[in-house]
Structure 1
Amino acid sequence: TPADLTKVATADVILMNGLGLEAAFAPALAQADARKADCSQGIALLAGRSGHEEEGHDHPHDANPHIFTSPAAAAQMAGSMAEVLIRACPEQTATIRTNAAALQKNLLDLEKRLAALGAAHPGACVLLQHDSLAYMMRSAGLHVMDVLQENEEQAPSAARLLECIDHIRKERPVLLIGEPQFSPRPLETLAAETGIPVIRLDSVASGPENAPADYFEQQMRNNCQILEDALSR
C-alpha cells in the first residue's frame, strides 16, 4: 500500500528476510536511504519447491525462502539484525548485543529441543502441506517425503491428492503436517484415505498486529510441544 511504501522510504533501518520475499518492495528498497540487512546471508539453504506470487507475477526461487522456521537459522538472522542495528545506533551497542545473545540462546535451546525429536525417531519422514516448514523439519531431523501444495495460492488438484495418497502408502510417514494459513481439507482427505495423523504447525509467516516481542518464540515453543505430543503417541 502507499502507507507501506512510505514506511520503506522513511525508515532508518530495513531488516529483510531476503531470497525474494521482498520482491514486491524491490523498487522502493532500491531507492531507500536506510541501512539494510539481508538476514538470509550465511544460512545453509534448502531448494525451493514453490513460486510466490507478488503483484500479479510469479517469482520462483532457487532456494526456499522460509528460513525463519528453523530456530538455528532464526538465531543467525538475529545476529545479522543486531549488527546492522549496532551500526545504526552505536551508542546502544552493549544493550543490543546483550539482547541479541539472550534471544539467540533461547532460539538455540529450541533447536536442541527439535533435534532431540529426530534423535528419538531416526529415519522418520513427514508430508508437508507446503514447503514453508521444510527448515523446521531439517532442525527436527525429520525427512520431508513430499510436499502436497507446491503453489501457496492454488489448492491441490484431485490428481495431486491421488498421487500423494499413493506416495504416503509406500513411504508411511509418521505425520501429515499442515499450517493454520491453509485450508485443512486436503490433509484431512489424505488422512482419511491413509490413516496417517494430521497436525498443524505455525510457520509464523504471518501474525497479529502489535504482536508481543516474544511472539515468535512462543509459537515455536508451541510447535515443539505439538510435535513432541504427536510423535509420542
Structure 2
Amino acid sequence: MARTFARLAGVILLAGCTIVALTGCPGSRDPWPEGNGKRILTSFAPLHCFAMNVVGDDGTVLSLMTNHGPHGYSDSPADALKLRRADLFLINGLELDNTIARKLVKSSGNKNLRLVPVGECIPEKQLLEGGCHCNHDEDSGKKHDHDHGKDPHVWLGIPEAIRMVEKIRDELKAIDPANAPKYDSRTSTYVERLKALQAEGREMLKDKKERKIVTFHDSLQYFARTFDLKVVDVIEIAPGSEPGTFKMNELIKTCEAEGVRLIAVEPQYPSNTAAKTILKELRARGIQAEFVEIDPLETARSEELDADFYETKMRQNLKNLAEKLK
C-alpha cells in the first residue's frame, strides 16, 4: 500500500512539473492580450520603441528587457511566457543579444517564432569597428592586430536607426501583408521624425567648438558620427570592467593631449568609479573637466516604454551635451 501511494505521488509530482514547464510558474499570467493582431517581442527598449511606431494599433509590442539591458540580463519564467506566443522576436544582433535570444528561442517551444537580428540589416560598410575588450596593461608594447568585430550600438546613430525601423516594417509586412499599407505609412511618418531629430541635434550643437569626448563604455560611436562628435577614448573596456593603472594613465594623457574636458557617463552605472578618478586628476592639472550624462538607452523603466521613448531620450542627451560643450 505504501509503495502504491509513493508511486502515485511520484506520478502526480511529475505531472505537476510538466504543467509548470509548459505554462510557466504557478500564477504566471499570459502577457499577450487576445485578439489584437500580431505579437511582437523585442529584446530591449530602442527596438520596442521602433516597433511600436510601425505596428501602431495592428498588433502588440512587448519588451523582454527593461531595468536590465543586454549587458546584464538574465532570463526568467515570465520571459518564457512572452516567447511562447510571440510571432516575431526582434533583437539587435551584431553579437549584442544573439546568444541570449538563441537560448530563449530554443527553450520556448515556439516553432513558429521568427527571430530577426534587426541591426544586421545595416550594410557592413556603414558599421564601425567594435571596441577592444582586451586588457593591454600587461602587454602595452605588443602588436595589437586582432579583430574587434563590429560595434553593436547601432541604434544610437540616426541613419542606422532609420534602417532598423525600415527592417522592422519589412518583417511585419512579410508576416501580415494585409496591413502592409499601414506599416508603410507609419514607417514613413516615423522616419521623417527621426530625420527631424537629427537636424534638430545638429542645430543644437552647430556653434560648439569642442567636439571631443571620452565615454564611459564603448557605446557612442554611432551617436558621435551622427552629430559630428569624436570619441577619443573609453574608460571601461567592457561594461563593469574598471581600467587598470596603465589604462588610467593613458586616458589622462590622452585628455591632456587632445584637449578633452567632457567625460560622458551613463545613468545605468555609478560615476564615482574610474570616471571620477580621471575627473579629479584632470582638474588637478588645471583642466576644467566635467561629466555629461548620455543615456545609451539600453535600459528603461516599464512606464517609459512608449512610442516617444527614443526621441525623448535622444533629445535629453543632446540637451545635456549642448549645455556642457563650449
TM-score range, shorter chain: 0.7 to 0.9
Q: 2:290 is matched with which residue: 182, 188, 197? A: 197
Match of 2:322 in 1: 228
Aligned 8 A contact 2:129 2:151 in 1: yes
State whether structure 2 residue 294 is matched by structure 1 residue 214: no
Q: Where does structure 2 lack aligned partners over 5 or more consecutive residues?
A: 1-75, 134-146, 283-287
Counterpart of 2:178 in structure 1: which amino acid?
E
Using the TM superposition, give the Cα deviation of residue 152 of structure 1 relative to its aligned residue in structure 2, in angstroms: 0.5
Using the TM superposition, give the Cα deviation of residue 123 of structure 1 relative to its aligned residue in structure 2, in angstroms: 7.5
Match of 1:55 in 2: none
Q: Encode CA deviations 1:184-223: one digit per residue, 9 max, x unaligned.
A: 1222322222232210111101111142221111101111
State whether structure 2 residue 111 is matched by structure 1 residue 38: no
Matching of residues 146-225 of structure 1 within 5 Å: 146-185=233-272, 186-194=274-282, 195-210=288-303, 211-225=305-319
**Where in structure 1 do 4 or more consecutive aligned residues deviate above 6 Å?**
none
The alignment partner of 1:48 has SS state of coil
Number of positions where the alignment pairs a residue of Structure 1 with one of Structure 2 = 224
Using the TM superposition, give the Cα deviation of residue 33 of structure 1 relative to its aligned residue in structure 2, in angstroms: 2.1
Aligned 8 A contact 2:213 2:230 in 1: yes
Return the index of the structure with the highest Cα Rg: 2
Match of 2:85 in 1: 10
Q: Which has the higher contact order (CA 8 A, sep 6+)?
A: 2
The alignment partner of 2:231 has SS state of strand
State whether structure 2 residue 158 is matched by structure 1 residue 71: yes
TM-score, structure 1 as length reference: 0.86
What is the CA–CA distance in structure 2 between the aligned matches of 1:221 and 1:95, rounded to whole Å?
Answer: 27
The alignment partner of 2:128 has SS state of coil
Q: 1:135 is matched with which residue: 222, 225, 230? A: 222
Counterpart of 1:206 in structure 2: which amino acid?
T
User: RMSD across aligned C-alpha pairs, in angstroms?
Assistant: 2.3
What is the CA–CA distance in structure 2 between the aligned matches of 1:50 and 1:205, rounded to whole Å?
Answer: 20
Using the TM superposition, give the Cα deviation of residue 118 of structure 1 relative to its aligned residue in structure 2, in angstroms: 6.4
Using the TM superposition, give the Cα deviation of residue 155 of structure 1 relative to its aligned residue in structure 2, in angstroms: 2.3
What is the CA–CA distance in structure 1 between the aligned matches of 2:132 and 2:237, rounded to whole Å?
Answer: 5
Identity among equivalent positions (%) equals: 24
The alignment partner of 1:148 has SS state of strand
The alignment partner of 2:306 has SS state of coil
Change (3 A) 1:122 1:32: farther
Q: Where does structure 1 lack aligned partners over 5 or more consecutive residues?
A: 52-59
Aligned 8 A contact 2:91 2:101 in 1: no
Aligned 8 A contact 2:266 2:296 in 1: yes
Counterpart of 1:136 in structure 2: which amino acid?
F
